[in-house]
Structure 1
């Protein structure tokens, strides 16, 4: 979505004073009322403004998450798994989906959060919506669709490591721009938008365009290698992104070339994404921690290596979702990007130490206490 210079001037004025009418706008930009009315009509058609006051974001920090919501079915083996036979263990269901998990983590950390996600008109969908609401997430813009609610089946070994997972995200794969239309006002008022990589390419591109037009920063979670591939064509300087959170394999898919899990290789690939409009590229490396590459307004790049906290793993499911949510929470409260990344890693450590996909006792105070306990010292290197 592109705006003319005059349209951008009008949007800036409306952000400052959403009650300006066409005559007042015309006087301020040195144009006629008729010409400004045409610009306002075009901005409405483009989805940038939805009516008087709609381009102004709310004063309170709030996040909108657009992504997947499904029912997780998790099975834990009691001993080392033997393939092609039955293994003793436990199984249970819990609400899941990357977008939904990020939203719940944010709500538990204390950030007002809205979730926009498709669910089926079925018992699983009803449970997902009800339990997500109970966790503190605003679910007024959930999208009810025909078809089954998404499911994610995960099999974990006795140590909590994932062995295999099968996901059925058909309703999310079919999400359209038209379905997101009802959330335009919500998006325009957000302080930050999180986009889950499960969203198809066309809605993702529309969300990035819309967010840029209304001045809402975006954090992208690529989710997986197959889901990350469409981002190669979606990312561009015309659709700036605040942060993206891939692992090295997902980073390879986005830049469309192999990326070794080394600082040098990750730094080179991150520069490619900086060139495509991404300010912070935060690459996750599991037990090896993470690497954060940040580009400032003058084009200087700072690369920071962060060590992972040492924890006893109970279940790795949901660790990446808590990392993203905690990063967003910390960034909104004013932490530096490096501090936000450290906060995210601490939240992930607390999550993998729990058997729950979203740790129910997660709070910002708990994460801050964990940070003080580990007190990591990241190494930094500045490059031009």
Structure 2
């Protein structure tokens, strides 16, 4: 499969520390369970998934000058990701602490993304953006860096895919809506409300379309997702799964979708690949499933016939 240029991912990199209760989680007290850690961060995860799927991928992220930073560099490079334009900053690496219930669902989380927020516009050269086939960014970046990335991509006619990350961080996109074109935005329902100010999904999507967002992919976890583009909405069912850990599912979903777009697939087929990658991720114990591949995604698609 030939690709016109690398996918450039600009976004968060941090170490994930995941704690899972062995019984129903009880707030306000200690819960027995198990913990594990791995390289994480929305942008880093998307880049690693793209690399495993065989897509030439470059990541611009900020790593701290500590053992966590070196671990993230090593794990990301092992997925085949180009880190030549990433930076090491004289500060601690980012971290994300998540607490999961016994069924693998998120109970709560705390993130420290100071390193990513220190990633400045000058760390993202215009010529690197212009050489990309797609740019993927997340809102762990500062508003100034997000705006720089989007404007550089628009100037070079490079399509941009944006992950809003959370209700609060999604609002960093507000200054850009209506001023730069966005190929795809991937909000949850609550992030859609934060971005549009509309409680009704279709009204919120319409608001974003009017603001220059070509495709709005509303994700609702186990209820599936809906991709709103120029035609009829595309319903993408979630594949029933025995959940091990939901962490990283949205990142894998975005990566496989972009992989499909790079391969010239239709929006519907690209989104279906996203659903398959999310299924593969939540049924594993890893934030980025190490054996993820385009062939494995295709096997799930054939088995589930989606």
- What range is the shorter-chain TM-score in? over 0.9
Alignment of 1:109-258 (within 5 A): 109-180=53-124, 183-236=125-178, 238-257=179-198
Residues 187, 219 of structure 2: 8 Å contact kept: yes
**How far did 1:267 drift?**
2.1
Residues 267, 303 of structure 1: 8 Å contact kept: no
Residue 369 of structure 1 aligns with which residue? 299
Residues 62, 87 of structure 2: 8 Å contact kept: yes
Distance 1:92 1:161 in 2: 16
Structure 2 residue runs of 5 or longer lacking an equivalent are none
Residue 356 of structure 1 aligns with which residue? 286
Please, what TM-score do these two structures have when normalized by structure 1?
Answer: 0.77
Please, what TM-score do these two structures have when normalized by structure 2?
Answer: 0.96
Q: Which has the higher contact order (CA 8 A, sep 6+)?
A: 2
Equivalent in 22, 46, 52 of residue 108 of structure 1:
52
Residue 37 of structure 1 aligns with which residue? none
**How far did 1:294 drift?**
0.4
Residues 17, 37 of structure 2: 8 Å contact kept: yes
**How far did 1:106 drift?**
0.4
**How far did 1:326 drift?**
0.5
Residues 306, 342 of structure 1: 8 Å contact kept: yes
Alignment of 1:1-384 (within 5 A): 60-180=4-124, 183-236=125-178, 238-257=179-198, 259=199, 265-295=200-230, 301-376=231-306
**How far did 1:59 drift?**
6.5
How many pairs does the alignment contain? 305
Deviation digits for residues 216-270 of structure 1 (CA, Å, limit 9, x no counterpart): 110000010011012122122x41111110011001011123x2xxxxx322211
Deviation digits for residues 317-367 of structure 1 (CA, Å, limit 9, x no counterpart): 000000100000001101101111111011101111111001111111111
Deviation digits for residues 93-136 of structure 1 (CA, Å, limit 9, x no counterpart): 10000000000000011101111001111111111111111121
Residues 69, 119 of structure 1: 8 Å contact kept: yes
Distance 2:113 2:163 in 1: 16
Residues 232, 253 of structure 1: 8 Å contact kept: no
Distance 1:73 1:336 in 2: 36
Structure 1 residue runs of 5 or longer lacking an equivalent are 1-57, 260-264, 296-300, 377-384
Residue 381 of structure 1 aligns with which residue? none
Distance 2:171 2:203 in 1: 18
RMSD: 1.4
Residues 103, 325 of structure 1: 8 Å contact kept: yes
